[in-house]
Structure formats: C-alpha cells, structure tokens
Amino acid sequence: MKTTITDETTPLLVAQAAEDPASSKPKPITPLPKLQLGLVTCIRLVEPIAYTQIFPYINEFLNGLHVTDDPRRIGFYSGLVMNDAQESTYAIFQLFSIYHFAKLSDRIGRRPIILCGVTGVALSTFLFGLSTSLPMMLVFRALAGLSSGNAAIMQSVVSEVTDASNFGRAAPLFGLSWPLGSILGPLLGGALSTPADKYAWLDFEFLRRYPYFLPGGVSSVVTLIAVITGYFFLRETLPSKVRAAKLKERAAKDRSGSVTPVDVAEVTYDAESDKPLGMRALLANPAMRALVTSNAGLSFLCTGYEVVFVLYAYTAVPLGGLGFPARQIGYALSVSGLVSVAGQLVLMPWLLRTFDAARMYNLCFWMFPFLFPLMSALNLIARAGYDEVGRCQASGTLSAPAVAGVWAGIVVMLLMSRFAVLAFALSMILIKQHCPSENSVGMAYGLASFAQCLARALSPTIMSSIYALAQEYNILHGFGWVPAMVLISLGGVLQSASVVRATR
C-alpha cells in the first residue's frame, strides 16, 4: 500500500490526473434484438385478440342462451364470463397455472411453455363459440385460463434478450401487444358475430346455429399461425439453457468433445452463484411489495372499468345506459386500443425521458376516480336526445346532437383510460429497476402477474354485481355504482402512492 507524507508545504488540494474523456462518455445503447422482440410481442399480441373479441357480443350471447329473462341481471352473468381481455373463470384457473408455468420454465425453458400455452388458448377460443349453455362457456374459459399462465414468462424473455441500456425502449414496444390486440379483437367480434344476419354470403345453417363461432374461429387460426412462427424462429433465453448450448457448441468444435478447465469453471460459477431469491425475500423488499400490491389494484381497476363500460354501453338508455348494439361497442373498444398504441409509441418514450417513472405510475391511477362519474354523465346526454325523439323504447334512436355529445364524451374517456393503462408498461420497467437480484426478475414478474390475475378473478364479478345491484334496486336512480367505484379507485391511488415512497 502506498503511503503519502504531508507537511505544511503540501497543497491541500492535490491536482487530479486528467480524466479520460472516453470514461465520461455515456455508455452506448445496445441495439434492440428486433427479431426476438418482434416475435415475443406478436405471440403476446394474439392473446388479447382472442380475449377481447368476445366483448362486443358476450351480452347478446348470454341473452341468446336464455340465461336469465331479466335484462337487469345480465350484468351478474357477464361478470362470470368476461373481464378486461380475460374473465373471472379464466383468471381463477390461471391462478393455478402461473406459479407452475414459471417454475417449469426455469427447468425446461421459456420457449416450450410459451408455445404450449398459446396452443391451448387457440383451442379454447375455437371451442368457445360452439357453447350452447353457460356451463359450457365456463368450461372453455377455464381451459383458456389453464393455458395462459405465461405472461410473466414472456416478460422474462424480454428482460433476458435486452440489457439495462435498451430495456426501457423494449418494454413499451412489448407493451404495444395488448392495445394492438384490443383494436383487432373487438373489431373481429363486432364484425363477425351473427354473420348470417349481417352478410348474405355467410348465410349458412352452421353459422345460424352457432352465430358467435366465427370470431373465435378466425382468432384461433391467427393464434395457431403465431405458434407455428414461434416454433421455427423463437429462440430459448433461459440462462441455464443458453449456457448449456454454448458448452455444447464448444464441445462440438473440439474433436475430442472436451472443454477447457477454464470454460468449465466459468460455466459452473455462472450456474451456481447468485441463486434467485424466493417469494418471501422478494416481498420483504419495500419497493417490490409496493409494486406487487399496486399491480393488483391496477388490474382490478382496469378490469372493472372495461366490464362496467361494456355493461353500461349495452344497457338501454331509459335504464341508465347508452343502448349500444354489439357493433358500436366493438368500435368503441377498438378505438380505445388505437389510442393505447399511440400512447405507447409517442407518449411513453417522452414520459420516461422527462418524468420519474414512479410518479407517472401514480398519476395513471388518478384517472380512475374521474372516469366513472364521466361515464355516468353520458347517460344524461343520451337521455335528453332520446326524449327529443320520443320515449318509445322500440325506436332506440338518438338525436344527432345527442349522438355527437355521447361520442365526444367517449373520446375523452378513451384518452383518460388509455393513459391509465400506461401504468402496466411503467410497472414492468419499475420491477426491473428495483428487483433486488438480477436473477430474480422472472420471479418478480411472476408475483406481479399472480397479483394481477387474482384481481382479474375478483374484479368482474364484484364490479358487475355492484352495477347490477344499483340497477335492480334503483339505488340513486340506478347510478349507485358511481360513488362505490370512485371509492375503490381512490384505494388504488393510495396503493400507487406507496410505490413513489418505496422507490425514492
């Protein structure tokens, strides 16, 4: 160790060696792995297509099955079948697969689990349109849930094919899969449901017998195309599998099939050091605990908003809704997805450069306490226009000013709700930034996905039941659901505020 002797003649500020200009330069950004990122995003894309295509017609489907003779109670049953791109039954059964899928993917790899899961989604979507009873619907959605515990695995793939320099760019691009699917899914469901009545060239006996088969059939074909593409081009990213492949490649280059001792030591160290943290250790971290719990709140609110919007749009104007047919509901949901795409592409990069991610995450939650009152106000506009035409419910028409006012309000709601959905991409970035161990990112995403799934299992039934009870018992003239959902939204705001505190 070098010793420095000082006396009265020694200057207090010692001249520092000139800093290498190269060391002060920002680290270069690694180019995005375009092929692999594009593949995993496209595979993820087919899932929201499969899920959201049921939104425009699910209430008509249930009515056609004569589940109930009271239109006010449709909300209870649609809450059992659907939610924001998923449904209660789907989410409940997904809870059983998330942990086991993640654990199995750590053993046999990400790629086979993803491909098998998406194949199950294709099969369940195909069969859903052949349902002739509510129990059949629930069975097929349960099959979809058991096949769909791979969202966290896909997030892990994105994390494993990127590094710290480019993950912030990759996460919003991967996040585009959901809003893009939310555009195509409702369009598909709204346009292809009851095709025999809409299109003369599709007037076949089979499509009259199963009027809601075609949207799911087309969606399942698209899903199978994604599976085939992934089978040939998606590569494995599990670190242990990647290391094993490199060892095999080295051995193949050596005629004797051996590897140098240095290489073996390196591989052994990489495989055994820094083992992933368990669930308890991750949740002991304040930032991770806040992110997991707030993810549950975010999923609950987003799910509840979509469910209530579909029910509200379907409810007749005199009963407190908008009286939209399936096609108009599909258009509204598709425009919602289009707004999300624009937000992910244009708004998200600017937000990440300009503002703190945790504070933006909290701001996204603040949209929900205002969305539900705004939604209820649209009925006042529709009711005024409906009264101008006449109170004959059979006509089901609105005046032109009322239609314009309703759609203007829907546009404002879409902008606010799609801004709120940006919280999912922000959450993905925050989890990667604040995970206490790099080798535990997969488990961290798994915990967040489990929390989201649990919320999705509860939200549609709870939120649709609140809506239906307010309608059935005429609580606050049928609008009793509004203050209840505002209170729930404020609870989510408090949850997200804990993320800001924990990540300081």
Choose among 9, 99, 46, 75: nearest CA to 308. Answer: 75
For the segment 287-306, the average pLDDT, to the nearest whole number, is 94
Rg (CA), the chain: 26
Would residue 198 count as lying in a domain?
yes
Would residue 27 count as lying in a domain?
no
Percent of the chain with pLDDT over 90: 31
Q: 387 falls in which pLDDT band (50, 70, 90)? A: low
For the segment 110-132, the average pLDDT, to the nearest whole number, is 93
Would residue 24 count as lying in a domain?
no
Q: 388 falls in which pLDDT band (50, 70, 90)? A: very low
Measure CA 88 to chain center. Answer: 15
Predicted pLDDT at 4: 46
pLDDT at position 240 over 90: no
User: How many domains does the chain fold into?
Assistant: 1
Q: 116 falls in which pLDDT band (50, 70, 90)? A: very high
For the segment 322-348, the average pLDDT, to the nearest whole number, is 78
Q: 353 falls in which pLDDT band (50, 70, 90)? A: confident
Q: 235 falls in which pLDDT band (50, 70, 90)? A: very high
What is the domain-level CATH number for residue 339?
Answer: 1.20.1250.20
Predicted pLDDT at 215: 93
For the segment 435-451, the average pLDDT, to the nearest whole number, is 82
pLDDT at position 479 over 50: yes
Predicted pLDDT at 224: 94
Calpha distance 116→217 (Å, rounded): 19
Q: 335 falls in which pLDDT band (50, 70, 90)? A: confident
Amino acid at 322: L
Would residue 23 count as lying in a domain?
no
Range with the poorest average pLDDT among 20-29, 169-178, 225-234, 281-290: 20-29
Predicted pLDDT at 439: 67
For the segment 398-416, the average pLDDT, to the nearest whole number, is 87
pLDDT at position 15 over 50: no
Q: What is the DSSP letter of 10?
A: S
Would residue 347 count as lying in a domain?
yes
Q: What predicted TM-score, i.e. pTM, was given to this entire model?
A: 0.73
Predicted pLDDT at 68: 61
pLDDT at position 281 over 70: yes
Do residues 282 and 272 make contact, with C-beta atoms less than 8 angstroms apart? no
Would residue 412 count as lying in a domain?
yes
Q: Kindly report the average pLDDT of the chain as a whole number.
A: 81
Calpha distance 275→279 (Å, rounded): 13
Would residue 21 count as lying in a domain?
no
Would residue 420 count as lying in a domain?
yes
For the segment 37-47, the average pLDDT, to the nearest whole number, is 92
The three state secondary structure string of 65-120 is: CCCCCCHHHHHHHHHHHCCCCCCHHHHHHHHHHHHHHHHHHHHHCHHHHHHHHHHH
Q: 370 falls in which pLDDT band (50, 70, 90)? A: very high
Domain housing 444:
33-502
